[in-house]
Amino acid sequence: MSEHPLDSFKKQHDFMIGIDSDGCAFDTMEIKHKECFIPNTIKYFGLQAVSKYAREAAEFVNLYSKWRGINRFPALTMTIDLLKERPEVAARDIKLMELKGVREWIERETKLGNPALKEEVAKTGDADLKLALEWSLAVNESVDDIVEGVSPFPFVKKSLDKLSTKADMIVCSATPNDALNKEWSEHGIAKYVAAICGQEAGSKKESLTTVKEHGYADDHILMMGDAPGDMNAAIAVNALFYPINPGHEEESWERFHDEACDKFLNGEFKGAYQDSLIAEFEKLLPDTPPWK
């Protein structure tokens, strides 16, 4: 087993901040999903005849709903399920894959990444899992080929710099570790974080739980993210949450730099201030697709 990103983590400060990457620190959600994930999803799962609807479903799940930012494998099965419900898809008379093996694997595995999937394929020989692995590897190749030069949002670097002497920071993401290391290093901000925890490290909740064991008070841990999954991970470990609002990322980071990070460090974040931020955030992400 390779070393876990948090094996060498050491507490340096009283405060700890977990930062999501895609869509939070970097404006990479649109390009990754629209240019990398979706074309491969259509290709590998035989959705060419309903590509328009497949694209709409995948964009809704991954970008424009309360499921934004979830792990790629549950997002895949949700996309298929949304397609099953559409009369326009039923009218085309194509057979959608059930992906039973993938669904069962999602139920029993917490580290939903390619290493765990490779092990499962070797162990079971399941055809669904084999196809999902081929798709996932192809997605990673597309991301590596296409996504470069996408800078962090304005005020990200300034915020990390401002906090570097006051808080420990980690990347806490569902993106593969290799992509995270590449993006954070490429833009010179990897130096600000003590660990980069991607999908192979486990869920965001697991990463936050491991860090919390180093002895941070509940209201001294903050998770930053652009998706409800980030908020749920924070709630699960009794931490605070600062939303980077989809479509308003620049303003969110500027507000964090100018106002919210000081409130966090001064013990003024929890309560009415956090509640108002979350209420604003939740209005942006629906749970019903626009075609329903």
Residues 194-213 pLDDT 10s:
999 998 888 899 999 999 99
Indicate whether 54 and 133 sit together in one domain. yes
Specify whether 70 is located in the same domain as 23. Answer: no
Using the predicted structure, report yes or no on whether residue 1 has a pLDDT greater than 50. no
Percent residues over pLDDT 90 in the chain = 90
Whether residue 230 is contained in a domain is answered as yes
Query: What would the mean pLDDT of 134-162 be, rounded to a whole number?
Result: 95
> Which residues, including other chains, have CB under 8 Å from residue 283's CB and lie 6 or more apart?
none
- Do residues 23 and 160 both lie within one domain? yes
Q: What is the pLDDT of residues 160-180, one digit of tens each?
A: 999 999 999 999 998 889 989
Say whether pLDDT at 215 is over 90: yes
* Residue 93: pLDDT band with limits 50, 70, 90: confident
User: Is residue 135 situated within a structural domain?
Assistant: yes
pLDDT at 264 over 90: yes
Confidence of residue 145 (pLDDT cuts 50, 70, 90): very high
Residue 40 lies in a domain: yes
Same domain, 109 and 157: no
Tokens representing 68 are 């934004």
The domain that holds 186 is classified in CATH as 3.40.50.1000
**End position of a domain, from candidates 113, 146, 179:** 146
Q: Is residue 288 part of a domain?
A: no
Overall domain count for the chain:
2
Q: Are 267 and 248 in contact (CB under 8 A)?
A: no
Residue 207 within a domain = yes
Asked if the structure places residue 218 within a domain, the reply is yes
Q: How far apart are CA 120 and CA 77, in angstroms?
A: 18
- Domain end residue (candidates: 111, 127, 146): 146
Does residue 262 share a domain with residue 171?
yes
pLDDT at 2 over 60: no
* Residue 142 confidence (pLDDT): 97
- Range of 44's domain? 29-146
| pTM of the predicted model as reported, rounded to 2 decimal places | 0.85
pLDDT for 189 beyond 70: yes
pLDDT at site 110: 84
Ramachandran region, residue 246 (left: φ > 0; alpha: ψ -120 to 50; beta: rest): beta
Q: Are residues 184 and 265 in the same domain?
A: yes
- Residue pair 25/188 in contact by the 8 Å Cβ criterion: no
Radius of gyration, CA atoms only, the chain: 19
Strands 15-19 and 240-243: unpaired
DSSP codes joined into one string, 99-132: -HHHHHHHHH-S--SHHHHHHHHHHH--HHHHHH
Q: Do 220 and 79 sit in the same domain of this protein?
A: no
pLDDT of residue 125: 97
Strand 15-19: give its sheet, edge to edge. Answer: 195-197, 167-172, 15-19, 221-225, 240-243
Q: Are residues 154 and 20 in the same domain?
A: yes
Is residue 238 pLDDT above 80, yes or no? yes
**CB of 207 closer than 8 Å to CB of 229:** no
Of the listed ranges 25-29, 33-37, 67-71, the one predicted with least confidence: 67-71
